[in-house]
Amino acid sequence: MDEKEKAKKQILLRISPTLWRELAQWAEEDFRSINGQIEFLLTECVRKRKGGKKPEE
Whether 4 is covered by a domain: the verdict is no
* pLDDT the model gives residue 56: 63
In the chain, the number of structural domains is: 1
Please give the model's pTM, rounded to 2 decimal places: 0.75
Whether 23 is covered by a domain: the verdict is yes
* pLDDT the model gives residue 6: 78
Whether 8 is covered by a domain: the verdict is no
- 27 lies in which domain range? 17-50
Whether 43 is covered by a domain: the verdict is yes
At 1, is the pLDDT very low, low, confident or very high (cuts 50, 70, 90)? Answer: low
Whether 46 is covered by a domain: the verdict is yes
Whether 29 is covered by a domain: the verdict is yes
> What's the Cα-to-Cα distance from 42 to each of 3, 9, 23, rounded to whole Å?
22, 14, 13
Cα first-last separation, the chain: 9
At 3, is the pLDDT very low, low, confident or very high (cuts 50, 70, 90)? Answer: confident
pLDDT tens-digit profile of 8-49?
899 999 999 999 999 999 999 999 999 999 999 999 999 999
